[in-house]
Structure 1
Amino acid sequence: MDFRITFDRIPEIFDKYRPRYCDELFTEIITVSDLNSSKDVLEIGPGTGQATEPILKTGCNYKAIELGENFTEFMENKYGTYSNFDIVNADFETYDFGNQTFDLIYSAATIQWIPEEIAFSKVYNILKPGGILAMFMTRSDEKSANEELYNRIAEVYKEHFFVKKRYNCKMKYDNVVNYGFVNYKYKDWKKVRTLNADEYISYISTHCEHITLEEPYKSKFYTGVRKAIMDAGDKIIINDTIPLYLAQKPL
């Protein structure tokens, strides 16, 4: 099973329920990269474009590479009116960029799906001297604000959540410095989400393992999660951290 294309099954749901990033994140990336209409930018695996429009609006020469056919079509429909928008439906790991190089390459919760030695080496090779690599995602803490509810949901997982394959992110972002990058920096921002039972179930249904969950487990799992949240007042609080990893190719 290739988890990289799992999300491509549900583009509309994915776009609606995945958490958004904060404005401060994009301001940081745009400032560090000094983005303008003269700069060339590559986004790896944009999905449905939760991290696309702020970069497009700088007027840069934007290119995306997206493995999913449905995601690619979704992106074309969503951003095709921008004259500086371009997307290719291809696998970053094997795609030949020819002589094309970039001032900024960025990934929103995507680069970790690529083996480290391929991801960092290839990005380094297609970055211009002085170019920036930006990697970010959302890390969610569902325990701190509602520990009792968290434990009840954990019991539902233990009883009903059985999938054929588990996902495990093995990438260590700090290792980027082992591939020639310099000026490695980390920064993060905090956000809080409050969801009801239906919203939470819609959100977790966009996780890769949850997409692959089959009957008879699926119905019992979601029924159990819903009951746990309803019993807790139909509310779950999620504390999000949005980490940003930046690195630069030497001049």
Structure 2
Amino acid sequence: MTEQASIDRSRRTTFEENAEIYNEFHKGYPPEVVEEALKLAEMPAGGRILEIGPGPGNATVSFARHGYPILAIELGHRLAALAMENCKSYPQVKILNMAFEDWQVEQDAFDMALAADSIHWIPPEIAYPKLAQALKPGGSLVILASAPAGLTTDWLRAVDTAYGSRGMQEANPATRFTLDWLKDILAETIGGSGCFKNITTRAFPTNEIFTADQYIRSLHTYSGHRGMTNALRQSLYAEIREIILQSGGSVNLPGWLVLFHARVKKRGL
């Protein structure tokens, strides 16, 4: 079963329930990644960006700093409000609070379509054709997707054991999938849509530092944890807290940020 087929897309509304926490722990994208995306897209001065699923505006702000007009479409009411607040210094940014599926497409209007850790929440048979319609001939699709680095440290291996002992291994963010799997499945999905060509990928290593409280709080942003009973979740979090405290009170969390770029196919081009 592919990632696109197996996703329970009804869970995309759970981000709204933890909008403030998501805003707290997802603070923009590295400048070098944004600059590489703009370079690959060959963005013209004043070029328009269409963003789907901006959440609280993490990527929106990162691209808005370069002066581009952005139309960002966000399903969640609280997330959209946070995005508006975070983008208030950028008057060229407009946030629409609605489902991308319901948006009336602006034909051939945008130079770049952007999705940062969001495109998998929209059925691909809707997302890719609609984005292609919105792009100008020669326009670019840019997808930013985060991937775990795996069980690369002692504390991550101990945390994985804590998940496994409770039969919840699939909920561990550190082992959800691999970098290679993410690159393969998204490239396959983009190409398989028939809407885009010339797919390229770039992988950037990331590293975040968390205290025990911060890491446990960040787990609320993962929709897979919502299905746990409260007792199970509290038991798991208590063990994770102890593991991090035993590791010195703060830990490094390595990961990857993958940049996908593709050109839209238009009128036989």
**TM-score calculated relative to the size of structure 1:** 0.88
CA contact (8 A) 2:206 2:256 kept: yes
CA separation in 1, counterparts of 2:204 and 2:98? 32
Bigger relative contact order (CA 8 A; separation at least 6): 1
- Residue 166 of structure 2 corresponds to residue 151 of structure 1: no
- Residue 263 of structure 2 corresponds to residue 248 of structure 1: yes
- Residue 130 of structure 2 corresponds to residue 122 of structure 1: yes
Query: Offset of 1:47 from its aligned partner?
Result: 0.5
- Tell which deviates more after alignment, 134-143 or 66-75: 134-143
Residue of structure 1 in register with 2:149 after alignment: 141
Identity among equivalent pairs (%): 25
2:36 aligned partner, one-letter code: E
CA contact (8 A) 1:182 1:247 kept: yes
1:45 aligned partner, one-letter code: G
CA contact (8 A) 1:42 1:63 kept: yes
1:197 aligned partner, one-letter code: A
2:252 aligned partner, one-letter code: I
Where 2:158 maps in the other structure, the secondary structure is: helix
Q: Can you list the C-alpha shifts for 1:131-187, whole angstroms capped at 9, x where unaligned?
A: 0000012212251132xx333212322344769x99989982112123131221011
Q: Can you list the C-alpha shifts for 1:57-93, whole angstroms capped at 9, x where unaligned?
A: 2222210000001001111122134221111111112
CA RMSD of aligned residues (A): 2.7
CA separation in 2, counterparts of 1:205 and 1:98? 35
Change (3 A) 1:77 1:113: same
Task: Identify which of 22, 38, 48 aligns with 2:30.
Answer: 22
- Residue 179 of structure 2 corresponds to residue 173 of structure 1: no
CA separation in 2, counterparts of 1:54 and 1:153? 32
Query: Offset of 1:14 from its aligned partner?
Result: 0.8
CA separation in 1, counterparts of 2:136 and 2:158? 50
- Tell which deviates more after alignment, 35-44 or 169-178: 169-178
Residue of structure 1 in register with 2:210 after alignment: 195
CA separation in 2, counterparts of 1:78 and 1:37? 23
Please show how residues 19-58 of structure 1 align to structure 2 within 5 Å: 20-35=28-43, 37-58=45-66
Task: Identify which of 3, 6, 17 aligns with 1:9.
Answer: 17
- Residue 100 of structure 2 corresponds to residue 85 of structure 1: no
Task: Identify which of 116, 120, 137 aligns with 1:108.
Answer: 116
Query: Offset of 1:100 from its aligned partner?
Result: 6.1
CA contact (8 A) 2:51 2:73 kept: yes
CA separation in 1, counterparts of 2:86 and 2:59? 13
Task: Identify which of 252, 259, 266 aligns with 1:237.
Answer: 252
Where 2:22 maps in the other structure, the secondary structure is: helix
1:132 aligned partner, one-letter code: S
Query: Offset of 1:98 from its aligned partner?
Result: 4.4
Residue of structure 2 in register with 1:132 after alignment: 140
CA separation in 2, counterparts of 1:244 and 1:87? 23
Count of aligned pairs between the two proteins: 248
CA separation in 2, counterparts of 1:158 and 1:78? 38
Where 2:230 maps in the other structure, the secondary structure is: coil
Query: Offset of 1:235 from its aligned partner?
Result: 3.4
- Tell which deviates more after alignment, 169-178 or 120-129: 169-178
CA separation in 2, counterparts of 1:186 and 1:61? 25
Question: Which of the two has greater helix per residue?
Answer: 2
